[in-house]
Structure 1
């Protein structure tokens, strides 16, 4: 592809299209999960509040623009700043991506802690595939038992952050899945070998 304005525009358009396709694919994967605990009207308001933000935007841009905006979940309210990492390493292609992130507050707060812990490492980068694997592990933990107050998410989040601090590197996605499977089995939840956590 030629290195001119139209070539660069096409590359940017192609990347934006791929990001939208990934977001749709992720949502389709989540189709069997319980409904998110955040009201749809509340999510519409968050998305409309982001009209003044230029996308793609970093997590820091989103927090600066609407960080104090409250999102009401079933059990409590969260400020957007509690759900989105205040980081330049986290990027959102469109307001819809922010909406997807905040609709599952427990997972969002876990990923926020992980991203911000990664920011403190020099030279470390939480790549897209590793980030997606961490998030998928958190989603699997959330789906295990709706009545467990998402204890598994908190335990694995804290384990990842502890690994980052102690070893000064990101744990591999397989190690995170293995730790999550150990947590599940030690708490009486069955994990089959053909499941995501069955490593």
Structure 2
């Protein structure tokens, strides 16, 4: 491969795609842990419906094909249209990638809001690593207290979208973690320095 901008960009995209595939595989292996709140049978039915699509598929393609499909979680029902960003920039390599996304519907709904809000920004790339850091922050908030109706996820996704609209930029991953830690401490949740939110 030529050592020019195009070649380096392709190498970076390939490396990012391989990392996403590794993360999806790891997430699927952990699927039987405390999470997910969505029944495995429900996810199997969803994968069968996704077979009508050619992968990789964009979020817009998935929403157009099966966006009205309902996913039942432990707490409430969601449609795929509420969980998957309806953009051409958001791509899914396989049905497994969609399955991993919908396993944690409150996190997926928060990320959808942020991804779609970030599309209003000009000259801003929402990198995969930054997105993964946001998701990890939301997953940590979800794990803090299962009985809090995911109030922390809503509060931080509101804060991020406000930052996008008011400051016209994406907050840094560290800034999102810091805001999440403030929320936790203000609401009586202990956050240790050696934890993800411990900033």
Report the counterpart of residue 21 of structure 1 in structure 2: 22
2:186 corresponds in structure 1 to 186
Could you say what secondary structure the match of 2:78 adopts?
strand
Summarize the alignment of residues 53-64 of structure 1 with structure 2, pairs less than 5 Å apart.
53-64=53-64
Q: Which runs of 5+ in 1 are unaligned?
A: 3-10
Name the TM-score, length of structure 2 as normaliser: 0.88
Secondary structure of the equivalent of 1:82? Answer: helix
Moved segments of 4+, more than 4 Å? 11-18, 30-33
For 1:18-167, list aligned pairs within 5 A.
Answer: 18-27=19-28, 34-167=34-167
Q: Unmatched 5+ residue regions in structure 2?
A: 3-10
Deviations 1:133-182 (A, max 9, x none): 00000000000001111100000000000000001000000000000000
**Hey, what's the Cα distance between the residues in 2 that align with 1:51 and 1:13?**
24
- Identify the residue that residue 169 of structure 1 maps to in structure 2: 169
TM-score by length of 1: 0.88
Maintained 8 Å contact 1:34/1:143: no
CA contact (8 A) 1:89 1:119 kept: no
Give the 3 Å change call, closer, same or farther, for CA 116–150 of structure 1 in structure 2.
same
State how many pairs are aligned. 190
For the aligned residues, what is the CA RMSD? Answer: 2.1
Tell me the SS of whatever aligns to 2:136: helix
Give deviations 1:1-58, integer Å, cap 9, x for gaps: 48xxxxxxxx899876543212123456x67963211111111111111111111111
